[in-house]
Structure 1
Amino acid sequence: MVGLIVVVGCAGPPQPRPEAYDPLENMNRSFHVFNTKVDELVMQPVVDAYIDWVHENWRLSISNFFDNLSYPNVIVNTFLQGKFRQGFVDTGRFLINTTLGVGGLFDAASVFGLEEHDEDFGQTLAVWGVGEGPYLTLPFLGPSTMRDLPDLGGSALTNVFTYVGTPVLVAGVAATSPLAVLAFIDKRARADRALRARDELALDSYVFTREAYRQHRTFLIYDGNPPMPELFAEEDLQIFEDLEQEDAVDEHASVRQRKLHEDLPTLEPISTLHRVEETAPVSVKEALFTAPLP
C-alpha cells in the first residue's frame, strides 16, 4: 500500500489551466447570485454581530478549535500524497494541540516548531494527476471544482465530530447541530475581509471569485510554488530570441567602438593641434576617423 502511494504520488499534478473550464457558467452564475443574496440578508448581519461582540482572542481560539477537529483530514491526505515526513509532523501537531492545547483551543504545537499545513482530498487527486474538471458554484457552499467535490465527503469522514452526537454536514464540517452553526459562522467570519474587498473592487464578482478560488487552489496544490504560466506562444518566443541575437550584435559593435576610443591618442589643446597639423603629413581629422578598426 505504501509503495502504491509513493508511485501515485510521483505522478505529480497536471499543468494548471491558464483559463477556467466553466461549461456550466449560466447555472453557476445563478447559484452565485443566490449565495450572494443569502449572505447579504442572513450571514452578513450574523457575522457583523459575531465580530463586534466576540473578542478577537476568543474568535482565534474558536478557529483553532475547529481547525484541530478537522486536522485528521490534513494528516490522511498528507500521507496519501506521499509526504511521509510532513505526515508525521502533522500527526504530532494534532496530538500536541489536542492535549497541551486544551482540545485545540490554543496552538501549542507552533511553540514546538510544528508548522501547520493545509491538505485535502482535492489536492491529493491533483497530486495523483487528476485534472481540475469543470468549475462549480455550490448552493450555500460557494466555489469548487469537480476534482474538489469529493473532499466534502472526505472531510466529513475524517472530522472528529462526525462520530460524536448527531452529525450534520455544513460547509464540509460534520458536527452536532450547535457546533455546526458556529463552525459555519467561524468560516464566514474568516472570509469577511476578502469578501468585502471583492464587493468593493470587482467589476464582475463571479469572475473574481472563480479566478481567486482557482489561484488559491493552485497555490495549495504546489505547496506555495506554482509553475510559471506559459505567457507567450512559440512564435513569440522566436521573436524574443531574434531580438536577443540583435542585442548581442549591437553589444559587439559597442565593444569595438569603445576599444577604438581607448586606442586613440589623448587630444591636446587646440594650440598644440594647430602645430601638429602644420607638421604632420595627414590632418588630425584624418588621423581620428580613418584609423583601421582593431
Structure 2
Amino acid sequence: MLPFKCAPWLARNTSIVVLAAGLAGCSSQPSSTAQVSCADIAYSVNDPAEPFNRGVFAFNRVVDNYALAPVARGYRYLPDFFQTGVHNFVENFGEPKVFINDVLQGNPRRSVNTLGRFVLNTTVGVVGLIDVSGMVGIPRHDADFGQTFGVWGIGNGPIVELPLFGTSNSRDAAGRVLGFVVDPFGSHSDTADTLSTINTVGGIVDGRAEALPLTDSLQKLPDYYSALRNVVAEHRSAYVADGKQGSPDNTKPQCTGAPADGF
C-alpha cells in the first residue's frame, strides 16, 4: 500500500514526465501479470516484455537522475508565485486538447466547462498565468487520447517502456503519439511557436518537480520498476473510469491521481 494523497493533475505529452499523485487505499503486486485494485476498480498489468522493458527503464533512470530530476529539484526552490504561474500556464495551454477529448468522449457538459475555462483564463488570466476560472468556482478536469480510447472500450494492451517517454500501456502509448500529432494551435506564427516551446519546457520541469515526492518514495522500495509500473497502471484504470463517469462536478473515482507517464 502506498500512503500518498490523491490529487488531479494535467496530462503531459512531454518526455519522461511521471504521475504526480499518490494512491491511498490501493494495493499492487509487483509481478509481470499483477492484479491491482483501487477501491472498486480492478484490472490486470500485462508485462510480457518485462526483461526488455527493464533495460529501457534503466536507460531512462540514468537520463532522469543526471538531467531532469536535478533541474526539477532546483525549480522547487524558486518562489511559489513563479511555480504557480508556470503550472497554470501549462494547464491552460493543454485545455484545447482536453476539450477535443471531451467532445470525442461525448460529454457536452465537460466540453463547455473546458472551453469556458480556457477562454476566461487566456483573457482575464493573462494567457493562463492566473487560474481565474478556479477562483470563480469552475473546476478543471483532465482528458487525453489514451483515456478517450479507454472510454471507447479499447483495452489496455501490454506494458511498453519507451526511451525517454517512460512506462505506458500500448493503448496509452498510441494516444500519446496522437497527442503529439494533434496541435490545436498549429505552427503558423512565431508567437505560437514560442508559446509552444515555453509550454513544453515548463511542462517537463513543472511536472517532474510535482512528481518528486512520489518517485523519491518509490525508489526506496525493493523493485522501483514494478512499483512505478503498477502505480501508473493503477492510475490509468481509475482515469479511464473517470472519463466514463464524466461527471461535470469533477467528481473522481477514489484514488484517481495524475495522468501517468512513467519512467
Q: TM-score, normalised by structure 2?
A: 0.71
Distance 1:155 1:36, change over 3 A: same
Verify: 1:18 aligned to 2:43, yes or no.
Answer: yes
What root-mean-square deviation, in Å, do the aligned CA atoms of Structure 1 and Structure 2 show? Answer: 2.5
C-alpha separation in 1, matches of 2:172 and 2:74: 31
Taking the TM superposition and a 5 Å limit, the aligned residue runs for 1:91-240 are 91-156=115-180, 157-158=182-183, 160=185, 164-165=189-190, 175-176=196-197, 179-200=199-220, 202-223=221-242, 224-225=252-253
Compare relative contact order (CA 8 Å, sep 6+) and give the higher one, 1 or 2.
2
Q: Which runs of 5+ in 2 are unaligned?
A: 1-39, 243-251, 255-263
SS in 2 for 1:144: strand
Aligned partners of 2:89 and 2:199 also within 8 Å: no
* Cα displacement string for residues 208-247 of structure 1 (whole angstroms, at most 9, x for unaligned residues): 1111001111111111337xxxxxxxxxxxxxxxxxxxxx
Output the amino acid matched with 1:146: S
Change (3 A) 1:163 1:148: farther
Query: What is the match of residue 10 of structure 2?
Result: none
Contact 2:90 2:199 in 1 (8 A): no
Of 88, 95, 106, the residue aligned with 1:71 is 95
The yes-or-no answer on 1:84 pairing with 2:108 is: yes
- How many residue pairs get matched? 205
Deviation at 1:109, TM superposition (A): 0.5
Question: Contact 2:146–2:175 (CA<8 Å) still a contact in 1?
Answer: yes
The secondary structure found in structure 1 opposite 2:43 is: coil
Hey, what does 2:260 align to over in structure 1? Answer: none
Using the aligned pairs only, state the percent identity.
32
- Partner residue, 2:59: 34
Q: What is the Cα deviation at residue 112 of structure 1?
A: 2.3
Tell me: CA distance 1:179–1:116, structure 2 relative to 1, closer, same or farther (3 Å).
closer
* Larger helix proportion of the pair: 1
* SS state at 2:60 partner: helix
Alignment counterpart, residue 58 of structure 1, candidates 82, 87, 102: 82
1:148 to 1:27, Cα distance in 2 relative to 1, 3 A: same
Name structure 1 gaps, 5 residues minimum: 1-14, 169-173, 227-294
CA distance in 2, matches of 1:103, 1:166: 12
Q: Distance in 1 between matches of 2:237 and 2:201?
A: 29
C-alpha distance in structure 2 between counterparts of 1:92 and 1:71, whole Å: 10
Give the drift of 1:46: 1.4
Max radius of gyration: which structure?
A: 1
Contact 1:70-1:160 at 8 Å conserved across structures: no
Q: 1:76 to 1:212 in 2, by over 3 A?
A: same
TM-score computed with the length of structure 1 as normaliser = 0.64
DSSP 3-state at the match of 2:160: strand
Q: Secondary structure at the match of 2:45?
A: coil
